[in-house]
Chain A
């Protein structure tokens, strides 16, 4: 099978799904930058660990939530049938 010709402009729905794909491509980059924040801000000596602990776990959790939302949207946008249980 040959790839079908790609149209230049997409209708609204197609446009939306493309942007969701972009978002899910960007998410790990965002995550990486946020995870690296502790490197930039050098510890001021007095037990920063507790603070970083809370920060890292918060970023982590937000990433998981965004990923969950994106994966749900992506599945709908790419036309994958919802997973059904018999």
Chain B
């Protein structure tokens, strides 16, 4: 166990909730709360799963996703996209950019946990 999750999210309370749920399950949770520098963090850390919020200060989650898919080493990384906007066009956008999964806030903790486990694979 002890696998890494990188959580890119700017709302501190949501960070705390996800960190609690995942750490209890044995995950090693790293966070980044800014759009800028997020992709560098992904490259440095090489996590097993990335959880990515769309509405971020400075740079949108979609742009970061685009970078991840464009990067040679990160192209295959599993990314779970979270958004609070909840419009169908956001889902379409996320899928067209290559999001592995897409979830709308508010989410169920168990669902997030299950999805992360699923994405990380055996």
Please say whether the chains A and B touch (CB closer than 8 A): no
Residues of chain A touching chain B, judged by Cβ–Cβ distance below 8 Å, are: none
